[in-house]
């Protein structure tokens, strides 16, 4: 009997030992799977986390949003983008005495000035948009801007005689661009180059390039109305672009989706002053020397910010009929035009996808 009992006990112990390792393996496997899932969630959350920064450059506040990168941390990427934007600002800004643009203007009527390849590129693009808009966008408009005091915010209403004296200096066809020698020349004394209406878009494009080079797949830049986009939002949905109501500061009048590319808005509410009950804004018609009056705001969606920037000004000056015709003639370009009476004109590619909020 004792021998029989010992045998049964041994059998039970052997059976137990056969079962327990399998249970341990299952528990261990479940534990490993849980750890892997947690790691995947944490990694996904890190790569999808949106970093938000605010920078000051180009005389405006720049909002910068982008996802994490596997190459560098967010602060390093922010600093890289900020440094590139500031570097380009020192080249293009007329507010900075030592900029290349100011040197070109100082030598107007005297001699050509050697400039960087960035300035040549932007000047060539400016000339192109001046040509296709019949001069509505004119990079030699600096003397008019200065006459009105819009550069330094020292606003004044010039006389008709003053405007007529300045107008012969505003003529993009006189601008001499030598790409081989990398030089620019303004042949008449007192002429002035103003690339602010296109250079800001170029700077936004370069900031997007800097982000892309760091492996960023989702990004949003808003530089005072010049918006540059990379990809979609982190959840895969399009970015929602709001168009400001031109007469109500804190209201959005239209919203539309955008994936990549750029969106730029020009409005008569950006820089202006009033005298004797009349408002004068900074978007001047190069032909008349006066503020363009047929539109209150223009929003352009294009593949690049440099294109959208130049076109937003050109279309604003051209007015609703000619402006919309120019938009429709250009592939990959769409627009929303708002008149002073709040009539909204939408290009064919945006019809049906723009949400209006009167």
Q: Domain with 204 in it: what CATH number? A: 3.10.520.10
- Give yes or no for residue 38 having a pLDDT over 70: no
Count of domains for the chain: 2
30 pLDDT above the threshold of 50:
no
Contact (Cβ atoms closer than 8 angstroms) between residue 253 and residue 245: yes
For residue 22, what pLDDT band results from cuts at 50, 70 and 90? low
Q: What is the pLDDT of residues 64-105, one digit of tens each?
A: 999 976 767 999 999 999 999 999 999 999 999 999 999 999
Question: In the structure encoding, which two tokens stand for residue 262, read together?
Answer: 């750029």
Task: For 223-234, write each residue's pLDDT tens digit.
Answer: 999 999 999 999
Region 15-40 average pLDDT: 46
Same domain? 92 vs 206: yes
Four-residue CA torsion sign, 158, 159, 162, 163: positive
What pLDDT, in 10s, does the model give residues 298-320? Answer: 999 999 999 999 999 999 999 99
Q: Can you tell me which residue has the tokens 């030592």?
A: 98
Confidence bin at 153 (pLDDT 50/70/90)? confident
Examine the domain organization and report whether 172 and 320 are in the same domain: yes
Q: What is the pLDDT of the chain when averaged over all its residues?
A: 89
In a domain, 162, yes or no: yes
Same domain, 29 and 137: no
The answer to whether residues 216 and 262 belong to one domain is: yes
Taking Cα atoms as reference points, which of 330, 333, 321, 211 lies closest to residue 262?
Answer: 333
Q: Is residue 142 located within the same domain as residue 109?
A: yes
Q: What is the pLDDT of residue 342?
A: 97
Tokens of 71: 């190459």
Domain span at residue 109 reads: 52-356
Q: In the block, which residue shows the tokens 């590319």?
A: 261
Are residues 305 and 231 part of one domain? yes
Do 79 and 212 have their domain in common?
yes
What DSSP state is assigned to residue 84? H
- Give me the sheet containing 239-244, strands edge to edge: 239-244, 252-258, 355-356
Cβ-contact 267, 295 below 8 angstroms: no
Check whether residue 12 and residue 159 sit in a common domain.
no
Residue with tokens 């008569």: 268
From residue 253, alpha-carbon distances to 150, 240, 250, 358 in Å are 27, 13, 10, 6
148 shares a domain with 32? no
- Give one DSSP letter per residue of 206-244, joined into a string: HHHHHHHHTT--SEEEEETTEEEEES--TTSPPEEEEEE
CA distance 303 to 204: 12
For residue 291, the 8-state DSSP code is B
**Integer Cα distance of 240 and 245 in angstroms:** 16
Indicate whether 60 and 140 sit together in one domain. Answer: yes
In a domain, 102, yes or no: yes
**Inside any domain, residue 41:** no
- Structure-block tokens of residue 179: 């790409």
Residue 46 lies inside a defined structural domain of this protein? no
Q: pLDDT over 70 for what percent of the chain?
A: 86
Q: Which two three-digit tokens encode residue 349?
A: 């590619």
Question: Does 327 or 24 have the greater pLDDT score?
Answer: 327
Which tens digits make up the pLDDT trace of 269-282?
999 999 999 999 99
What is the distance between the alpha carbons of residues 206 and 84, in angstroms, rounded to a whole number?
8
44 is a domain residue: no
Give the pLDDT band (50/70/90) at residue 37.
very low
Q: What DSSP state is assigned to residue 59?
A: T
What pLDDT is attached to residue 358? 78
Together in a domain, 229 and 299: yes
Q: Are residues 164 and 138 in the same domain?
A: yes
Residue 219 pLDDT > 60, yes or no?
A: yes
Residue 47 in any domain: the answer is no
What's the pLDDT score for residue 283? Answer: 98
Residue 26 lies in a domain: yes
The partner residues of 241 in beta bridges, in order of sequence, read 256
| 260, part of any domain | yes
Instruction: Report the run of H or E that residue 308 belongs to, with start and end.
Output: helix 305-318
**Average pLDDT, integer, range 20-28:** 50
């Amino acid at each position: 009997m004792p021998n029989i009992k010992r045998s049964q006990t041994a059998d039970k112990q052997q059976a137990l030992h056969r079962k327990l390792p399998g249970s341990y393996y299952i528990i261990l496997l479940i534990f490993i799977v849980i750890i892997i899932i947690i790691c995947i969630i944490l990694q996904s959350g890190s790569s999808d986390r949106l970093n938000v920064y605010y920078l000051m450059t180009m005389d405006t506040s720049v909002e910068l949003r982008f996802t994490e990168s596997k190459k560098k941390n967010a602060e390093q990427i922010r600093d890289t983008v900020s440094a590139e934007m500031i570097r380009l600002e020192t080249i293009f800004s007329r507010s900075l005495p030592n900029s290349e643009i100011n040197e070109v203007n100082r030598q107007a009527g005297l001699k050509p000035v050697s400039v960087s390849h960035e300035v040549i590129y932007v000047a060539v693009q400016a000339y192109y948009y001046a040509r296709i808009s019949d001069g509505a966008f004119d990079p030699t408009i600096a003397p008019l801007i200065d006459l009105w005091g819009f550069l330094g915010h020292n606003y004044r209403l010039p006389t008709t005689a003053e405007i007529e004296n300045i107008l012969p200096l505003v003529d993009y066809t006189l601008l001499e661009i030598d790409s081989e020698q990398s030089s620019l020349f303004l042949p008449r004394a007192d002429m002035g180059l103003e690339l602010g209406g296109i250079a800001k878009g170029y700077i936004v494009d370069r900031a997007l390039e800097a982000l892309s080079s760091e492996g960023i797949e989702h990004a949003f830049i808003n530089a005072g109305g010049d918006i540059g986009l990379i990809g979609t939002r982190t959840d895969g949905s399009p970015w929602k672009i709001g168009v400001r109501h031109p007469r109500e500061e804190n209201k959005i009048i239209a919203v539309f989706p955008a994936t990549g590319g750029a969106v730029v808005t020009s409005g008569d509410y950006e820089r202006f002053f009033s005298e004797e009950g009349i408002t004068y804004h900074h978007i001047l018609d190069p032909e008349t020397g006066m503020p363009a009056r047929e539109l209150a705001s223009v929003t352009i969606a294009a593949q690049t910010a440099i294109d959208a920037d130049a076109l937003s000004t050109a279309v604003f000056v051209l007015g609703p009929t000619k402006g919309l015709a120019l938009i429709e003639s250009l592939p990959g370009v769409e627009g929303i035009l708002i008149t002073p009476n709040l009539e909204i004109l939408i290009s064919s590619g945006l019809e049906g996808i723009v949400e209006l909020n009167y």
